[in-house]
């Protein structure tokens, strides 16, 4: 399924990146070597297979430098592609095209890398009920784009920031004096649309949390045996079963076994903090 972000969310990132690259005098190489008014026709082509994310970054980067540019996406965000696939075809003023090239490639490669890694995790847990989620371990300033890339890869988004859900973590628990007290304080102030999640680090804390009926319980750094026991306790709880999220040190080598314990969500910081940029090149056509 193709996905889009509003241009309004992408444009500030693209313009900031272009301004950083253009510096104080613009692209002095293109100005020196390329005659004014020259046109350039080129394609953004994949050097490796992957999943597309960030195609609108390319369009907006080129249009920012040349409002008359023609940009045609050959695939949509969320589409898988093979090595050699043409992702975007464009024509623009040559100087403008060359000035936008690196910004467009940097963002496209970064986001495709996240989408591709996410798809690998999603495929690793196929056939189970677990969903792969991201975290807030994103590049500062790029969160909306990177979480969009996770969704393009088939993952689901965790909270976007500190203001869209209550997530009680270990330091909150320590300062409140316990899991139960922390949940009770949160419940007393949360609006009716705000979900409450609490992180627990053991089965005793799990039992304490279950009694307070949070919406989600994060099982932090649980062993596989502990995860299975946590699922059993939550499923048999007289207080009802919350969503169970496994978190902490998840890798491609461990994610399948984690998913088979019966947890509902597996959050993976590596989707955004450790994804390698996908190799994409710009070829003059």
| Residues 79-105: tens digit of each pLDDT | 999 999 999 999 999 999 999 999 999
Q: Three-class SS of residue 244?
A: strand
Which domains are present in the chain? 7-123+275-284 (3.90.1170.20), 125-273 (3.20.20.70)
Neighbours of 241 (CB within 10 A): 14
Residues with pLDDT less than 70, the chain:
1-2
Neighbours of 135 (CB within 10 A): 18
Cα 270 from Cα 267, distance rounded (Å): 9
Known catalytic membership, residue 4 = no
Known catalytic membership, residue 220 = yes
| Tokens describing residue 62 | 């080129």
What was the pLDDT predicted at 3?
76
Q: Which of 136, 137, 187, 233 is catalytic?
A: 137
What was the pLDDT predicted at 101?
98
Known catalytic membership, residue 207 = no
Q: Which of 199, 201, 208, 264 is catalytic?
A: 199
Cα 77 from Cα 205, distance rounded (Å): 41
Cα 121 from Cα 138, distance rounded (Å): 17
Q: Three-class SS of residue 241?
A: coil
What was the pLDDT predicted at 1?
58
Q: Which of 15, 159, 169, 233 is catalytic?
A: 169
Q: Which of 48, 102, 136, 187 is catalytic?
A: 102
pTM: predicted TM-score of the whole model, two decimal places: 0.96
pLDDT digits (tens, 9 = 90+) for 9-44: 999 999 999 999 999 999 999 999 999 999 999 999
């Amino acid at each position: 399924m193709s996905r889009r972000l509003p241009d309004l969310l992408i444009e500030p990132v693209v313009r900031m990146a272009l301004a950083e690259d253009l510096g104080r005098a613009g692209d002095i190489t293109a100005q020196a070597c390329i005659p004014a008014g020259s046109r350039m026709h080129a394609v953004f082509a994949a050097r490796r297979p992957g999943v597309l994310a960030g195609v609108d970054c390319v369009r907006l980067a080129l249009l920012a430098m040349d409002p008359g540019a023609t940009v045609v996406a050959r695939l949509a965000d969320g589409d898988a592609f093979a090595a050699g696939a043409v992702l975007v075809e464009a024509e623009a003023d040559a100087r403008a095209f060359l000035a936008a090239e690196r910004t467009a490639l940097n963002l496209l490669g970064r986001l495709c890398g996240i989408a591709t890694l996410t798809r690998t995790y999603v495929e690793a847990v196929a056939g189970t009920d677990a969903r792969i989620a991201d975290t807030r371990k994103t590049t500062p300033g790029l969160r909306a784009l990177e979480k969009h890339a996770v969704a393009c890869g088939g993952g689901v988004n965790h909270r976007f920031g500190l203001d869209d859900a209550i997530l009680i973590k270990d330091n909150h628990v320590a300062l409140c004096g316990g899991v139960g007290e922390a949940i009770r304080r949160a419940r007393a102030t949360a609006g009716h649309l705000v979900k409450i999640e609490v992180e627990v680090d053991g089965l005793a804390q799990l039992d304490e949390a279950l009694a307070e009926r949070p919406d989600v319980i994060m099982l932090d750094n649980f062993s596989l045996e502990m995860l299975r026991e946590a699922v059993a306790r939550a499923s048999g709880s007289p207080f009802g079963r919350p969503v169970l999220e496994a978190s902490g040190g998840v890798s491609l080598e461990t994610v399948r076994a984690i998913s088979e314990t019966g947890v509902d969500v597996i959050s993976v910081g590596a989707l955004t903090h450790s994804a390698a940029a996908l190799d994409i090149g710009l070829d003059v056509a």
